[in-house]
Amino acid sequence: MLMKKPLLNVFLVVMEEKSFTRAAEKLGRTQPAITQAIQRLETELGETLIDRSGRELALTDAGRVVFEAARRQENLQRELIAQLGELRNKAAGRLVIGANESMILYLLPHLIRYRQAYPKVKLVVQRSRSSEVPDLLLAGDVDFGVVSYITGDERFRSQVLYVDHLSFVVAPSHRLATKRILSIRDLEAETFIAHNVASPYRDAVLMAFQQQQTHLNMDIEMPTVESIRRMVQSGLGVAFLPRVCVDQDLRTGILKEIPVEELQLERKIYLLSVNKRPLSHAAEAFQELMRKDLAKSSIRGESEQD
């Protein structure tokens, strides 16, 4: 039998105060209303809960069972309210983002700041193919997705996360490492270490070589950006990779970037979410952090141009 929660609360206060009169004062109700509430509860349960024969109210055996259940329910309510308060204050919760291997790199600075600000939020970056991200968002499996394309679908909203470019990289010992700029025709004899996953960058490189009527030697294909980087570092070939993926290598001198005249490719990286779906408190906090980060980077960009 389902016990009505307001009646249980009244019963709990009556027995804590050991008085109908004091319970009525505490609850801001009349004593007859409190008495009727207890009688209604006893009728619904089919049990006498309070022994009224003595000078002080006492619990019957059934009353003790109901009293303990009422106290557990009250504690559970307090815990629920506290947990909801933590969620509203972004002190708890869960944030899930879908991104492929290279897209994760664009997120890292923002994720570090988010984790520092909200250390109790469970943070999950789910490795996903870019083509899968819209479906994951619609299914509610992720809060945000990171992609390098605009969906053209009104169900999604997107904001620019990063503007990247394609880098041609070689090992510092490579024969081309001293060149200041190259042409595609200069690369015909090179062994390219290619990413064997379809992407707009890959398609753009293939088309550029075709337009220049230059053979593209892709004798080595690897499944991850990390494996490509390591192969290039070891001098086994050259590669085109997103700048963000090799930024640290270029800073430390492990790799060398050389501009290729016919391949000055930029691409925008987007943070994607479902347009009309309310965000969780944890997701709202991440979106707000992103807005601030992007506003700061925009201001820095303008000042650098000035």
Phi, psi of 123 (to 5 degrees): -110, 120
Phi, psi of 13 (to 5 degrees): -65, -40
169-200 pLDDT, tens digit per residue, is: 999 999 999 999 999 999 999 999 998 877 77
Q: Is residue 303's pLDDT more than 50? A: no
Which of 11, 238, 279 lies closest to 144, judged by CA?
Answer: 279
82-95 pLDDT, tens digit per residue, is: 567 766 766 677 89
Q: Is residue 2's pLDDT more than 60? A: no
3-state secondary structure of 50: strand
Q: Is the model's pTM score more than 0.85?
A: no
Whether domain 164-267 has CATH 2.60.120.620: the reply is: no
**Third-level CATH fold of 5-88:** Arc Repressor Mutant, subunit A (1.10.10)
242-290 pLDDT, tens digit per residue, is: 898 898 999 999 999 999 999 988 888 999 999 988 888 888 889 999 8
213 falls in which pLDDT band (50, 70, 90)?
very high
235 falls in which pLDDT band (50, 70, 90)?
very high
Q: Is residue 227's pLDDT more than 90? A: yes
222, amino acid identity: M
Q: What is the CATH number of domain 94-162+268-305?
A: 3.40.190.10
300 falls in which pLDDT band (50, 70, 90)?
very low
The answer to whether the CB of 232 falls within 8 A of the CB of 255 is yes
CATH 3.40.190.10 residue spans of the chain? 94-162+268-305, 164-267
CATH 1.10.10.10 residue spans of the chain? 5-88
